[in-house]
Amino acid sequence: MKRPTRSDALIQRRFSRRALVLGGLQAGVVGVLGWRMHSMQVDHADEFRMLAEENRINIRLLPPARGLIFDRNGVLLAGNEQNYRIVITREDAGDIEEAFARLTKLVDIDPELVERAKEEMARRSPFVPVTIADRVAWEDVAKITANAPALPGITADVGLSRVYPLGSDTAHVVGYVGPVSDYDLTEGYLAEDDDPLLQIPKFQVGKTGAESRMEDQLRGSAGTRRIEVNALGRVMRELDREDGDAGADVQLTIDAHLQRYVQARLEGESAAAVVIDTETGDIRAMASSPSFDPNLFVRGISVADYNGLLNDNHVPLSGKAVSGGYPPGSTFKLVTSLAALEAGEVEPEETIWCGGYTNISGIRFHCWRPGGHGNVSFHESIKQSCDCYYYEASQRVGIDKMAEMARKLGLGVRHDLPLSAITPGIAPDKAWKRERYGEEWRIGDTVNASIGQGYVLASPLQLAVMTARVATGRSVTPRLVHTIDGVEQPSGRGESLGLNENNLRRLRAAMYDVVNHQRGTGYGTRTVLDEAKIAGKSGTSQVRRITPEERARGVTSNDDLPWNRRDHALWVDFAPFDNPRYAVCVVVEHGGGGSSVAGPIGRDITLQALYDGDPPLEAYPSNMRGRMAEQQEHIRGLAAQGATATIRA
């Protein structure tokens, strides 16, 4: 046995030293690891715990049910219906081709939809449900449910979608909804809206009419669902759920029954009509013809249908009752006459000579009646609608006072209703022309304006407001929303306009004779029952200039002109005469004579409003009753086929 040498002892000591250094180094590293663990798990545990929760928990929005829209009597105008969809989940379906083969054998589905669904499935994770078909009939849903075992991964799903039971009858008032667009969010009316609901793909928002202008009230607030997801985004379970608040129900002032009638009565014309309750300003009916079915837009309108609507020269998409600006023609004489009386520039009994025309600064202005009216008083000027009287009167009053009166009566002023594209119209004055054209006002402009031609433009709504204000002497303000979420909205009754009551009474009396006097322009639209006496004013406004040559040849009949160059026919009235309840305006674009075309429509609508349904035939003069009975029958037919049965909520 060999003894350990000195060098062996030396190397043994060195090994021990080195081993301890190594051990020390390792202990140091263990210390660092332990310190790091402590730092992360104890000192910063809360931060990491929060990050873990953020990882794990996703918040999904639950879209609220959109508020319903009713008419004043509780008839549903815009509702939500259950919408059945067929949905497929790839991971549950197994063989996709096989699944689709079975599905199409069972239910009739457009092959294009199947292709689209396959494409989308290829893009998405296997657990994401992909919609194959939307708005599936209940029978098909029943078939799928019954055959569920043979259709793995395919399920029927239900959601809410908007429906308009009255269809085209309320299209312009209620409007329609559609999927929120990039335009809505960047430049449109939702640009300032940061509601997270808008980030949901294809979330439905109001696009036109009350649906868009009352979006805030109708939309409601989002509910939330907190779900636990795994790293791939798969939903593991629902942690909790907080249902959102459904949108507020809105009740409009519209009377669905009257609305249908008006819409049907305008059938075939490019026309608009407004019925205002003179007591409250409530808009009982507001129609624009032709109309369209808003349900088409909710379901996704076809290109052909949409182009058809766009290219129609009667512009069905436009709500002419508020967005159409028309020269009001002789209906504007209510403004001119009242301005003249109020200013004291004409005396009620004073007569002005009408020889068929008036020469003003070298230009000949014609009266509508070629031979003239002779000596015309205030009363007669309205009754017979003499133009020369107003050429003279307007020169005495001046345009600024006329414009002031026009604004007082609600023309040239934007009435803010929850509707799209409301025109403010034009009540021109000197400042307006300078501003607009940079030109001085000329006397000829005043003369043109006195009979509602030239620069003057007004919408049917404004003319109805004007009539209501004349009828009541109050500043009646139109109101379209009756209640929101059961809360009554302020009435549009309005305060007194501060006009001389005698002047108003004279004007109303003259309007009464327009309809009820043999020589009144609207005698053809008279009614015979005392309870239904109408006072009105017709208007026929030119959309083209009549050249001296034409006049020399004799007035060209409207019927010989192309449609879009014919005169607009206008009518305003209120009734009953002694205790006004409704003011009505009818405008028939290029319809021809105001009293012959628009007048009868106005009368029928007025009677319908007064009697809350078809009026007794006795209201009409005896020689008209047979024809009226036929017409009522016809319109009932139209209204019945116009839309599906009204749903009472």
Residues annotated as catalytic (active site), given as ranges? 330
Residue type, 406: A
Q: Is 649 an interacting residue with respect to another protein (CB under 8 A)?
A: no
Q: Is 235 an interacting residue with respect to another protein (CB under 8 A)?
A: no
Q: Is 15 an interacting residue with respect to another protein (CB under 8 A)?
A: yes
The residue from 108, 139, 182, 231 that contacts another protein (CB under 8 A) is: 231
The span of 52-60, 451-459, 597-605, 638-646 binding another protein (CB under 8 A) equals 52-60
* Minimum CB distance to another protein, residue 55 (Å): 5
The dihedral of CA 134, 135, 140, 142: what is its sign? positive
Tell me the H-state helices in 39-131.
45-56, 90-93, 96-106, 111-123
The residue from 150, 236, 310, 421 that contacts another protein (CB under 8 A) is: 236
The span of 16-24, 169-177, 513-521, 559-567 binding another protein (CB under 8 A) equals 16-24
* 513 neighbors 492 (Cβ within 8 angstroms): no
Nearer to another protein, 32 or 137 (CB): 32
Report which of 414, 478, 422 is spatially closest to residue 275, judged by C-alpha positions: 478
* Minimum CB distance to another protein, residue 59 (Å): 16
The span of 50-58, 71-79, 357-365, 618-626 binding another protein (CB under 8 A) equals 50-58
* Minimum CB distance to another protein, residue 91 (Å): 15
Nearer to another protein, 14 or 565 (CB): 14
Site for another protein in 210-229 (CB under 8 A): 228-229
Largest Cα–Cα separation, the chain: 159
Go through 182-200 and write b for each residue having 16 or more CB atoms within 10 A of its CB, e for each that does not. eebbeeebbeebebebeeb
* Minimum CB distance to another protein, residue 6 (Å): 10
For residue 300, give both structure tokens.
């996704």
* Minimum CB distance to another protein, residue 196 (Å): 23
For another protein (CB under 8 A), the number of binding residues is 47
* 260 neighbors 227 (Cβ within 8 angstroms): no
* Minimum CB distance to another protein, residue 125 (Å): 13
* Minimum CB distance to another protein, residue 153 (Å): 22
Nearer to another protein, 44 or 135 (CB): 44
Return the number of other C-beta atoms located less than 10 Å from residue 613's C-beta: 12
Unique residue bearing structure tokens 């105001």: 594
Q: Is 91 an interacting residue with respect to another protein (CB under 8 A)?
A: no
Nearer to another protein, 230 or 302 (CB): 230
Q: Cα–chain-centroid distance for residue 196?
A: 25
The residue from 1, 303, 487, 645 that contacts another protein (CB under 8 A) is: 1
Q: Is 19 an interacting residue with respect to another protein (CB under 8 A)?
A: yes
Nearer to another protein, 47 or 350 (CB): 47
The span of 4-12, 166-174, 219-227, 498-506 binding another protein (CB under 8 A) equals 4-12
Report which of 490, 468, 495 is spatially closest to residue 411, judged by C-alpha positions: 468
Q: Is 56 an interacting residue with respect to another protein (CB under 8 A)?
A: yes
Extract the runs of DSSP E, i.e. beta strands, from 108-242.
129-133, 154-163, 177-179, 204-206, 223-229, 235-242
Q: Is 51 an interacting residue with respect to another protein (CB under 8 A)?
A: yes
* Minimum CB distance to another protein, residue 138 (Å): 39
d(CA 160, CA 63): 10
Per-residue three-class SS string for 306-333: HHHHHHCCCCCCCCHHHHCCECCHHHHH
* Minimum CB distance to another protein, residue 239 (Å): 11
Q: Is 237 an interacting residue with respect to another protein (CB under 8 A)?
A: no
Nearer to another protein, 229 or 529 (CB): 229
CA angle 468, 172, 410 (to 5 degrees): 25
The residue from 14, 241, 436, 565 that contacts another protein (CB under 8 A) is: 14
* 171 neighbors 291 (Cβ within 8 angstroms): yes
Nearer to another protein, 109 or 229 (CB): 229
Query: Where is 218: in which H helix or E strand?
Result: helix 215-219
* Minimum CB distance to another protein, residue 57 (Å): 9
Q: Is 565 an interacting residue with respect to another protein (CB under 8 A)?
A: no
Nearer to another protein, 38 or 565 (CB): 38
Query: Where is 250: in which H helix or E strand?
Result: strand 250-252
For residue 407, give both structure tokens.
């604004």
The dihedral of CA 502, 329, 389, 524: what is its sign? negative
d(CA 347, CA 527): 31
Go through 289-311 and write b for each residue having 16 or more CB atoms within 10 A of its CB, e for each that does not. bbbbbbbbbbeebeeeeeeebee
* 144 neighbors 108 (Cβ within 8 angstroms): no
* 278 neighbors 470 (Cβ within 8 angstroms): no
* Minimum CB distance to another protein, residue 28 (Å): 10
* 253 neighbors 480 (Cβ within 8 angstroms): yes
The residue from 232, 303, 552, 645 that contacts another protein (CB under 8 A) is: 232
CA-based Rg of the chain, rounded to a whole angstrom?
37
Nearer to another protein, 44 or 436 (CB): 44
Nearer to another protein, 225 or 369 (CB): 225
The residue from 2, 123, 545, 553 that contacts another protein (CB under 8 A) is: 2
What are the helix and strand counts (H, E) for the chain?
25, 21
Instruction: Return the axis-axis angle of helices 399-408 and 443-450, rounded to nearest 10°.
Output: 30
* Minimum CB distance to another protein, residue 230 (Å): 4
d(CA 60, CA 76): 31
Nearer to another protein, 56 or 369 (CB): 56
The residue from 10, 142, 640, 647 that contacts another protein (CB under 8 A) is: 10
DSSP-based helix, strand, coil % in the chain, nearest 5 = 45, 20, 35
Site for another protein in 20-49 (CB under 8 A): 20-23, 26-27, 29-30, 32-34, 36-38, 40-42, 44-45, 47-49
Q: Are strands 69-70 and 76-89 parallel, antiparallel or unpaired?
A: antiparallel
Nearer to another protein, 229 or 413 (CB): 229
Q: Is 7 an interacting residue with respect to another protein (CB under 8 A)?
A: yes
The span of 8-16, 167-175, 253-261, 537-545 binding another protein (CB under 8 A) equals 8-16
SS3 100: helix
Applying CB under 8 A, the residues found at the interface with another protein are 1-2, 4-5, 7-8, 10-12, 14-16, 18-23, 26-27, 29-30, 32-34, 36-38, 40-42, 44-45, 47-49, 51-53, 55-56, 228-232, 236
